Amino acid sequence: MMNCCQCCGIEEQFNRAEATRKLREYRRAGPARTTQLLLDALMREPVAGQTLLDIGGGVGAIQHALLKAGAATATAVEASTAYLAVAREEAARQEHAERIIYHHGNFVDIADTLPSADIVTLDRVICCYHDMPTLVDRSSAKAARLYGLVYPRDTWWVRAGLRAENALLWLQRSTFRVFAHSSAAVDAIVRRNGLQQRFARNAGAWQAVVYERIAGGGFTRATRHTTGSSSKT
């Protein structure tokens, strides 16, 4: 279900040409620098047997890295039809298709239908969504163990750059927009859901942050998906 203007903009911005370009880059060079930074932080501890919920996972770089490291299954939620198509293609190529469950839609709309996971990731997703409080609240609540984010740094020059990008998008008559959300606000929401920060590092205009659920953090595990591949549209 895609019932927001920004989600329609995501479909337009992350179209087949863009998704195909990103897939070529991934196959040539592997995960982007900030994605690899997040992966390195997540895999400081063993991930064998863990489940993953990857929100806005693009071509699936995080999914494939963690599955190769021994993760049990991955659930991928993607708002872009084009990205979902290339992600399926790459999963088949890497022989991971039977271990990934796909959902097409706005995560905020379908969150209640999704299971929790040991690891939840949003790699360059928060900056693409207008309602950060709801997105971060609902996604961090799904994390049984680790919650990993890559999103823009909270600095004046990053905010200025995003304003310039939005001006260009407006001139192009695109409904897609990018957002500079407050790092302190993101952190406060995650901590309210019973997680504490264990890793944070800047990389250019981006920051990679990993949170870990603390003992007694109020988490109740939902039923996990069984292994299999499906799509919810």
- With beta carbons less than 8 A apart as the criterion, state whether 156 and 217 touch: no
Model confidence band, residue 222 (pLDDT cutoffs 50, 70, 90): very low
Q: What's the pLDDT at 45?
A: 87
Q: What is the largest CA-CA distance in the chain?
A: 50
Write a three-state SS string for 124-144. CCHHHCCCHHHHHHHHHCCEE
Q: Is residue 233 pLDDT above 50, yes or no?
A: no
Give the count of alpha carbons within 13 A of 186, CB side only: 27
Q: Which domains does the chain have, with CATH numbers?
A: 5-217+225-232 (3.40.50.150)
For residue 47, the Cα-to-chain-centroid distance in whole angstroms is 17
Whole-number Cα distances in Å, 37 to 61, 118, 134, 180, 181: 12, 19, 25, 20, 21
The pLDDT tens digits for 8-54 are 767 777 788 988 999 999 999 999 999 999 999 999 989 999 999 99
Query: Rounded to whole angstroms, how far apart are CA atoms 97 and 105?
Result: 19
Model confidence over 48-73: pLDDT tens digits?
A: 999 999 999 999 999 999 999 999 99
Q: What is the pLDDT of residues 150-208, one digit of tens each?
A: 999 999 999 999 999 999 999 988 889 999 999 999 999 999 999 999 999 999 999 99
**pLDDT score for 112:** 96
pLDDT at 7 over 80: no
The rounded percent of the chain whose pLDDT value lies above 90 is: 79
Separation between Cα atoms, residue 200 and residue 70, nearest integer Å: 24
Q: What is the pLDDT of residue 223?
A: 39
